[in-house]
């Protein structure tokens, strides 16, 4: 595991957002969804997320998640992925990280 400094960590913008829409990212090499996420004052961002193992498109809509929002955009098939949705790699698949109660969209993870 690589060590980072507190200054490195403070550069990472991890924010809460709510998933507004989810659809298959059909051009992705690995199964993924194209997500439309509302980050409140930060606006709407899109992400390609490999979370198809445990979540259906219908299940994702309305879920509040956490994501890194200050990576440079990355092209994933036809999707310009503007944020990285966070989850835990588990033997059952990727489990989304979520606030334990509803918080303001765009709220920064501390």
Measured distance CA(23)–CA(45) in Å, rounded: 14
Per the CB < 8 A criterion, the answer to whether 59 and 21 are in contact is: no
Q: Is residue 17 part of a domain?
A: yes
What pTM, to 2 d.p., does this model score?
Answer: 0.94
Question: How many domains does the structure of the chain reveal?
Answer: 1
Q: What is the pLDDT of residues 82-106, one digit of tens each?
A: 999 999 999 999 999 999 999 999 9
Distance of CA 10 to the CA centre of its chain: 19
Burial 44-64 (b: 16+ CB within 10 A, else e): ebbbbbbbbeebeeeebeeeb
How far is the C-alpha of 35 from the C-alpha of 85, rounded, in Å? Answer: 9
pLDDT at res. 12: 97
CATH code where residue 16 lies: 2.40.50.140
Question: Model confidence over 34-55: pLDDT tens digits?
Answer: 999 999 999 999 999 999 999 9
Q: What residues make up the domain containing 14?
A: 6-96
pLDDT value of residue 52: 96
């Amino acid at each position: 595991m690589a060590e980072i400094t507190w200054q490195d960590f403070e550069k990472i913008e991890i924010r809460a957002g709510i998933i507004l829409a989810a659809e298959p990212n059909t051009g992705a090499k690995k199964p993924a969804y194209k997500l439309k996420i509302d980050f409140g004052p930060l606006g709407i961002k899109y992400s390609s997320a490999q979370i198809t193992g445990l979540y259906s498109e219908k299940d994702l809509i309305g879920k509040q998640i956490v994501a890194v929002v200050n990576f440079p955009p990355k092209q994933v098939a036809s999707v310009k992925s503007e944020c990285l949705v966070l989850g835990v790699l588990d033997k059952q698949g990727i489990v989304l990280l979520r606030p334990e109660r509803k918080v303001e969209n765009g709220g920064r993870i501390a």
